Structure 1
Amino acid sequence: EEKCANILEEYDLLAVSGNATDKNTLEDAGIDRADALVATTSDDALNLMACWLAKKYSVRTLVSIVNQKEHAELFKEVGVRISENPDEIVARSLFLWAENPDTQLLAAIEGGTIFEITVAEGAKGVNKTVREASGVKDMLYIAIRRGGKLIIPSGDVVFLPEDVITVFTKEEAEARSVEYMEDLFR
């Protein structure tokens, strides 16, 4: 219940403490009027059951953590959008940071990673265009923050010192992409 109180202070939503697989709990929570159900327990069976029940009540958006990868297909069959195991995301983030201290993992999504790096003064990539700095297949520049402004990177945009570059890379290209970015911008 303390967790619910903390969530309510932070976000504009309804947080309910109870058994998410109990129809009465779900009905008391207003499941028939819900836009979404987000299941975040460490028990895949519980998360799946809660999502399945919510689907029976026509909840449009179902999101869940999947703690064991081998269960992912079951969630997809029910129509659940899945999130990676939080422990795995943290471990991946710590590993990436330990190997490349100047790179920060922003998000690990199914099949890919979003990370950012700050351009160092005197780096090889300073004054190169996005087109010139596109050296890794399956990597995409998605944003540049420069002096409080957001830039959508097109081919002719030039990288400057202190730019914070946000990059998406497919999972299989993550190591190459991070190494490339570190070499070019640090």
Structure 2
Amino acid sequence: MYVIIAGGGNSGEALAKSLVTEKEDVVLIESDKERAERLAEELDALIISGDSTNIDVLKDAGIEKADAVVAMTGDDKTNLMICEIANQAKVKRVLARINEPENEALFIQAGVESAISSTSSIVTDFNNVLRGKGSKTVATLASGAIEVMEIYVGVKSKIVGKNVSEAGIDRNDAKILSIERKGEVIIADDSRTIKKGDILGVIAKSSSAKKVVEHFEKK
């Protein structure tokens, strides 16, 4: 996977290190020249010193062949501009760090796949989304025949905006038990609407778990 990270601050650097460890191709753009020079010495990645909102800089970074662009600067306006350019360049996956939670709607309107608040475990969250790890098994029951899972709902998931009853899963395979939203856990009755960023608590047959996860993550 070819990933461009715009912003080489602490979070951008940590994400780059994590992706490099996973053997991904990483390009990191950092506006501060001295910091960019240090990052170039420490990271096994292409480091570009420049303005991430400059189309020529993004072209030098290889935006036309990028699988993903992650806007990680400390300024939401800058991150939004980067995302808009990436969408215009038809980058498959566009993600952004949100510094002010009230700006989340702007990123959703811009078609950003995942906008994650800097107050969360941001590096882990971005890495999970990029590498398709938006779900995890938290427990097994009945000698491993049943799995209890947490499944992250991305902004482009086909179940966003649907009620639990409309989620489209076979209830012989799985059932949505709960929805975690902004730190609050909600019991998932059939009329409850599923929103972007929700974490679903799902119980499923182990034999059907992979199919269930793929269904929820499908766009």
Larger gyration radius, structure 1 or structure 2: 1
**Structure with the higher strand share, 1 or 2:** 2
